[in-house]
Amino acid sequence: MFLRPPISAGTFYEIDSNMLRKQLDFYFRNAVVKSKKTDALVRLVPHSEYSLSGQIAAHAYVNMTKSNFIIIGSNHSAFGSDFALMKNSLWKTPIGEAVVDNSFADKLMKETPLIEFDAIPHEDEFSIEVQLPFLLHKFGSVNMVPIVVNNQIPDDAFLESCRTVGKSVAKWMKKGKDWKLIGSSDLSRRMEEEDTIKTDKLLLKHISKLDVKGFFNIINKLNVKVCGYGAIATTLFAAKELGAKKAEILKYGTSGEIPGNMTVTGYASLIFY
């Protein structure tokens, strides 16, 4: 079994276990969520440094119930398979380890050839890793399947690939026992704060309606930089297949709220039901 080290510890979040738990305690303590949909099967969560998006991410996790997790993240390296799954691995963090469910992973790969076993994109990728401390701190153990999506041109062909993978994930979630889905992506990037907020409102309008076509249209029309639009699209298709009709925005914010950021990224935590 491959031991996947916590490559983002010390940069995206605290490397010291005690400091990390204090950091997470602070975020959970200050995450006020009024929604009663704690059993929502699908969430969308940001994945920047905890100092920027950790408090927003905590809103997606604070009321979550224990489960097995499929985490669909972004492939920032652009290397490897379009939909890369890593199995036979134990993901280490400063506060515990997450184990990959090989049986469930095999079922997904047999369901569609689009999902491929490819460990390379996961080795230096942070989008899934940064979700694990939240889950481990809350639940103590994590059983998961990690998939990263390598963004292609946001056209109809890529949309259909995301649809196929999303529906495959949903199919096996329904057949399996107690699975939840976490999509990991930030929103618009590298703009002034006013433009970021304005653009994110447009993106979230379509995300909240589970409208992938409209979401892609905004990205193309405005040339918006969204690091995980493939992960978002796949998550939305899975949510629709699982019966979700709408989304609830639990928390929104930008990195511009933190002093010293010259360009701004938008973040949101949502649940789908």
In terms of Cα–Cα distance, which of 135, 163, 161 is closest to 150? 161
DSSP string, the chain: -EEE--TTBTTTB-SSHHHHHHHHHHHHHT-------TT-SEEEE--S-IIIIIHHHHHHHTTPPP-EEEEEEE-TT--S-SEEE--SEEEEETTEEEEE-HHHHHHHHHH-TTEEE--HHHHT--TTGGGHHHHHHHHS-EEEEEEEE----SSHHHHHHHHHHHHHHHHHHHHSSSEEEEEE---B-SB-HHHHHHHHHHHHHHHHTT-HHHHHHHHHHHT--BTTHHHHHHHHHHHHHTT---EEEEEEEEGGGSTT-SSB-EEEEEEE-
Q: Homologous superfamily of 2-272 in CATH?
A: LigB-like (3.40.830.10)
Does the pTM of the predicted model rise above 0.85? yes
Average pLDDT over residues 242-257: 96
In terms of Cα–Cα distance, which of 2, 72, 58, 66 is closest to 27? 58
Residue percentage of the chain with pLDDT more than 70: 100
Q: Give the tens place of pLDDT for each residue, 2-37.
A: 999 999 999 999 999 999 999 999 999 999 998 888
- pLDDT the model gives residue 133: 99
Task: Say if strands 89-93 and 96-100 run parallel, antiparallel, or are unpaired.
Answer: antiparallel
In terms of Cα–Cα distance, which of 67, 68, 47, 66 is closest to 58? 47
Average pLDDT over residues 140-162: 98
- pLDDT the model gives residue 190: 85
Q: Give the tens place of pLDDT for each residue, 106-147.
A: 999 999 999 999 999 999 999 999 999 999 999 999 999 999
- Identity of the residue numbered 199: T
- pLDDT the model gives residue 177: 86
CB 272 within 8 A of CB 247: yes
Residue 263 scores a pLDDT above 90: no
Q: Token match 């939909």: residue?
A: 83
CB 29 within 8 A of CB 140: no
Compute the mean pLDDT over every residue in the chain, rounded to the nearest whole number.
97
Listed by start position, the domains of the chain span: 2-272
What distance in Å separates the CA atoms of residue 253 and residue 242, rounded to the nearest whole number?
A: 28
- pLDDT the model gives residue 36: 82
Residues 6+ apart with CB under 8 A from 7: 123, 124, 126, 129
